[in-house]
Amino acid sequence: MDMIKSLFIAASGLKAQNGRMRIIAENIANADSTGKTPEEEPYRRKVPTFQSHFERELGAELVKLGKVSQDMSPFIESYQPGHPAANEQGYVREPNVSTLIETADMREAQRSYEANLNVIEASRRMLQRTIDILRA
């Protein structure tokens, strides 16, 4: 049963990291999305969270993607007087997304995803060897 638990735990990690990578990709895709007018806010960075929940039938703690919140840090302002979203002083509010931070977060999520995938592969190989031993 412990092998099955490890598979479910790793699978929940895969699903959570997949959701995290999707949010990071959305942040990167909108890193240059400004408002159309000076009053309209640009894209605001999204921050994923994780939640742990106990699965009674399995008897194990699983992880899932929790609430996705918005990063309330200030927007970046750049001087672009000809831009349609420029204010009276010529400044445009740009998203509070740093592609450098998002890229680092993406790599971390990818490594975590790969670690969970390796757990599943190792468990699968062990189960296959057990079946081969029982057949012999």
pLDDT of 62 reads 94
Looking at beta carbons, which pairs linking 1-9 to residues 24 or more positions away fall under 8 Å? 3/123, 3/126, 3/127, 4/58, 5/58, 5/59, 5/60, 6/119, 6/123, 7/119, 7/120, 7/123, 8/55, 8/58, 8/60, 8/62, 9/60, 9/61, 9/62, 9/63, 9/119
For the whole model, what pTM was predicted?
A: 0.87
- Low-confidence stretches of the chain (pLDDT beneath 70): 1
**What is the pLDDT, as a whole number, of residue 4?**
85
pLDDT of the residue at 2: 82
Provide the pLDDT for residue 1: 55
What was the pLDDT predicted at 11?
95
Give pLDDT tens digits for 88-107. Answer: 999 999 999 999 999 999 99
